Amino acid sequence: MKHPTYFSAWTTTTSSIALLLGGCAVGPDYQQPDMVAPAGFHGGDSASNTKGDTSFADLKWQDVFKDAQMSAYIEEALAANWDVKIAASRLLEAEAALAVQRSRFFPSIFAGGDLYNTRTSENGPTGGVPNPERSYGDAGVGISSYEVDLWGNIRYANTAARARYLQSQEAQHTVRQTLVSQVAASYLNLLELDYELQIAEESLETRQESLTLTTAREQGGVAAMQDVVQAEILVYTAQSTMVSIKRDRDLQENALCVLLGRTPTTLARGTKFSDQHFDDAVPAGLPSSLVDRRPDIRSAEQGLIEANANIGQAKAAFYPQVTLTGSYGYQSVSSSDLFKSASRDWQFGPAVSLPIFTGGRLVSNLKITEAQYETALSSYQQTVQNAFKEVSDALVNYQRTHEFTDRQELLTQSNRDAAELANIRYEGGVASYLEVLYNEQELFSAELNLAKSELSELLS
């Protein structure tokens, strides 16, 4: 007995008229907020800082940092730092999400097939059928229902996805820019601690010589035991300071290793701290160009664009949704008749969905998106305002730390002269060692503070 077999082959198509239907966007068009830039940056020499269109920010970091070892570390960090890798992965994620949204512009094509072999029970309700066993199958390709973007819903969704992608891109720029600054600052901190350790070692050597001399004077009856104790205080102070500096230096090395994506280890040095110099001219450029230059501001604006597009999607939900579906193919219970004209089978029809009652959901959702837009707008304006503040702060830090360093150099030289004079007076017998102790301690503190102020100037 032959088992009847059911054969079908079909394809579904979406009418090209869907692509010709014109849609109208019901949401608001995005407009960049008006931000009034100040005439100049507050702080520092404003006249020279904003003179011309050139800006310190236009320089590449390779043109700013001259230390070859520092540049090598920055290159290494940009390639191996974990934050950079995370930002790159998030950018890829946003790029893929954008591609998903773009796919809504096109119908989805699928293919599949089924093969069935069934047997009907002869003892069941339909028992006694002539042929309890049969086989049938179907196979084909098709296009799922396609939404006609009459009101811009899909376009707004794509705009929002593109804004999120660009936000991730600007976030990556921010991470890379911040990383360059962090590596340079960490490296300079490490060199400065090396310099502090050098100052402490030189001071310890001088103080040990002074202790030896004072001990000899006490043994010769020229100096009192109190002078020896005070000389020991200077030696122990230098030694304890050296231990503290070494601890800070090791911790700083570990921090720099993390930025480089390395396991903590000893790091090589390049140019000595005392030979680190940058150009004196730091033009801030025109305040109006700041908005276009900073990645955090550009990222905030993309958030505003996304919020504006979300309003469009919320408004489009109030209007009818139109989808088109259709199919065309062949059906036959015999493979020999499958592609004959009599086996043709097709259907086409639009589906319309109109929201009648949603319990206030659509209205509330629109209010949510409008409130989110206001939040994004305030965040954007706040970001711009903070940017102007940060530039002004940087200019103030740069100029004032330079002035402070100049004064600290004069103070250190005065302490150096005072310490030298105190030693001469003590050796001449006209001053106690207490005067030497005081001036040596002041000189040591002044030298360390000078190193810190020079570091602050480089960092600013």
Between 20-34, 113-127, 356-370, 437-451, the lowest mean confidence (pLDDT) is in: 113-127
Residue 2 has pLDDT above 50, yes or no: no
- How far apart, in whole angstroms, are the C-alpha atoms of residue 49 and residue 301? 26
Residue 21 has pLDDT above 60, yes or no: no
Q: What percent of the chain has pLDDT over 70?
A: 82
- How far apart, in whole angstroms, are the C-alpha atoms of residue 357 and residue 190? 67
Q: What percent of the chain has pLDDT over 90?
A: 46
pLDDT tens-place string over residues 151-205 = 888 899 999 999 999 999 999 999 999 999 999 999 999 999 999 999 999 999 9
Residue 48 has pLDDT above 60, yes or no: no
pLDDT tens-place string over residues 232-284 = 999 999 999 999 999 999 999 999 999 999 999 999 999 998 888 877 666 77
Q: What are the residues whose beta carbons fall under 8 Å from the beta carbon of 92, sequence distance 6 or more?
A: none
- How far apart, in whole angstroms, are the C-alpha atoms of residue 449 and residue 348? 83
Place of tokens 């600007």: 170
**What does pLDDT average to over the chain?**
83
- E strand or H helix at 205: helix 153-219
Do residues 51 and 405 touch, judged by C-beta distance below 8 A?
Answer: no
- How far apart, in whole angstroms, are the C-alpha atoms of residue 307 and residue 163? 9
Q: Pick the most confident of 215-219, 274-278, 403-407.
A: 403-407
Strands 109-119 and 321-332: unpaired
Query: For residue 418, what are its two tokens?
Result: 């005072």
Do residues 388 and 291 touch, judged by C-beta distance below 8 A?
Answer: no
Enumerate the H helices of 220-281 as residue ranges.
Answer: 225-260
Buried b (16+ CB within 10 A) or exposed e, 160-172: bbbbbbbbbbbbb
Which residues are registered as beta bridge partners of 138?
Answer: 114
Q: Which residue has the higher pLDDT, 399 or 129?
A: 399
| Burial of 23 per CB tally in 10 Å (0-12, 13-18, 19+) | middle
DSSP designation for 146: E
Q: Dihedral sign, CA of 83, 85, 88, 94?
A: negative
Give the pLDDT mean for 33-61: 69
Candidates 276, 120, 103; CA nearest to 184 is 276
Compute CA distances 111 → 138, 193, 344, whole Å. Answer: 11, 68, 19
- How far apart, in whole angstroms, are the C-alpha atoms of residue 234 and residue 444? 10
Give the pLDDT mean for 63-81: 91
DSSP designation for 13: -
Candidates 12, 11, 21; CA nearest to 352 is 21
